[in-house]
Amino acid sequence: MSTSNVKKGEVGLKTLIFSIITFLAVLIIIIVFQPSPISPVAYSPSEPQELIGVLAPNNLLQNAQLLALGQINGPEEVAVDSQGRVYGGTQDGKIMMLTPDGKLDVFAETHGRPLGMQFDVNENLIVCDADKGLLSINPQGKITVLATSANGVPLNFTDALDISSDGIIYFTDASAKYGQSEYLYDLLESKPHGRLLSYDLATGQIKRLLKNLYFANGVALSQHEDFVLVNETYRYRIVRYWLKGPKAGTHDIFIDSLPGFPDNISSNGKGTFWLALFTVRNKAVDTLHPSPF
C-alpha cells in the first residue's frame, strides 16, 4: 500500500471519528435541552414480594371461560345486571352488553373511554369514563353526566368505583394531570396526582376523601362498608380509607410491596377481595426511578 493511500485512510478514519463525536455531542445537547413532557422526581421502589407460596405462578386461569372472544376490544371492568347480562366498555367509547345466550349488542355510546362500572339499586349503570367523567346510564341507554370536576379540579382520568348500600359512589380520578392516553407519563414522573372521591346519588354532593395518590385505580368497599380500598398502581400497594369507627377519615396501608401493578379490585361482600395485577413488576422501570434525569 502506498504512503498516499495510508494517509488517505487515516484522514478518512479521523473524519469518521469526528463525525461520530459531533453526532453524539449534538444528540446529548438535544436530550439535555429538549423540553420534556414530564417533570420526574427520584423514587426508590420497595422490594417486591417473592412469587412463592400463595403468589407462586400457576395455570388456573387456563380453565377460565372466555366470553365474546375476539368481539370486544378493551373491557376494563364488567358489571352484571339483574337479568344476568354482562356489560363492558370498549376502546372506542361503546358499552357492550352480552346476553346469557351469547348475543353481543351495543348498550350505549359515551364517545369517551368507559372504564369502571357498576349498577345502582335503580338498575342505572354508573360509569367512570376516563374522558367524560362520572356518568349514569338508565336501562334504556340514556346517559346523564353526574360529575366532571371535584373541588374545582376537573376529573381528568375518572377510573374505578364501588357503590355503598346507602347510595354513595366511591370513585377515583387516577391522575388529575395526565389523561388516559398519557398514563405512562404518570408512571415515569413518580408524583402523586390521583384522588379518591365520593358522590352522593341522593344529593349530588361530591367530596374529596384522599389526594396525592400515585395513580388511584381500583376501588372496593369492605363487607361491612366500614372502609374502602383504593389501589395505588404506581406504588405497588393498596390504601385503606376508614369510613366508620374511631379511625373514620384516616387512611393506612392495607397491602404493600405487591409483585405487580394493582389495577382493578372488587369485593364479594363476604370479606374477600379479588385483585387484578395487570402485569408483574418491571425491573427496568424500578431501576430507572431513582435516576429521574
Is position 3 within any domain? no
State how far the Cα of 257 lies from the Cα of 101, in Å rounded to an integer: 42
Residue 5 confidence (pLDDT): 59
137: part of which helix (H) or strand (E)?
strand 133-137
Query: What is the C-alpha separation between 24 and 278, in angstroms, rounded?
Result: 38
Place of cell 344529593: 203
User: Do the beta carbons of residue 83 and residue 107 sit within 8 Å?
Assistant: no
Q: Residue 137 is part of a domain; what is its CATH number?
A: 2.120.10.30
pTM given for the model: 0.89
User: Is residue 137 one of the residues assigned to a domain?
Assistant: yes
**Tens digit of pLDDT at every position of the chain (293 positions):** 555 555 555 667 778 888 898 888 888 777 777 788 899 999 999 988 889 998 999 999 999 999 999 999 999 999 999 999 999 999 999 999 999 999 999 999 999 999 999 999 999 999 999 999 999 999 999 999 999 999 999 999 999 999 999 999 999 999 999 999 999 999 999 999 999 999 999 999 999 999 999 999 999 999 999 999 999 999 999 999 999 999 999 999 999 999 999 999 999 999 999 999 999 999 999 999 999 88
> How many domains does the chain contain in total?
1
pLDDT at 2: 57
Cell 376508614 belongs to 242
83 belongs to a structural domain: yes
8 A C-beta contact, residue 188 and residue 208: no
d(CA 181, CA 118): 23
Nearest to 265 by CA among 257, 255, 256, 275: 275
Domain annotation covers residue 154 = yes
Nearest of 192, 235, 198, 196 to residue 213 by alpha carbon: 192
**Closest Cα to residue 202, out of 163, 228, 258?**
163
- In-domain check, residue 37: no
Residue 272 lies in a domain: yes
CA distance 232 to 246: 24
Is 235 contained in some domain? yes
> Phi and psi of 276, rounded to 5°?
-105, 125
Q: What are phi and psi of 60, to 5 degrees?
A: -60, -35
Q: Residue 113: which domain range?
A: 72-288
**Is residue 7 domain-resident?**
no
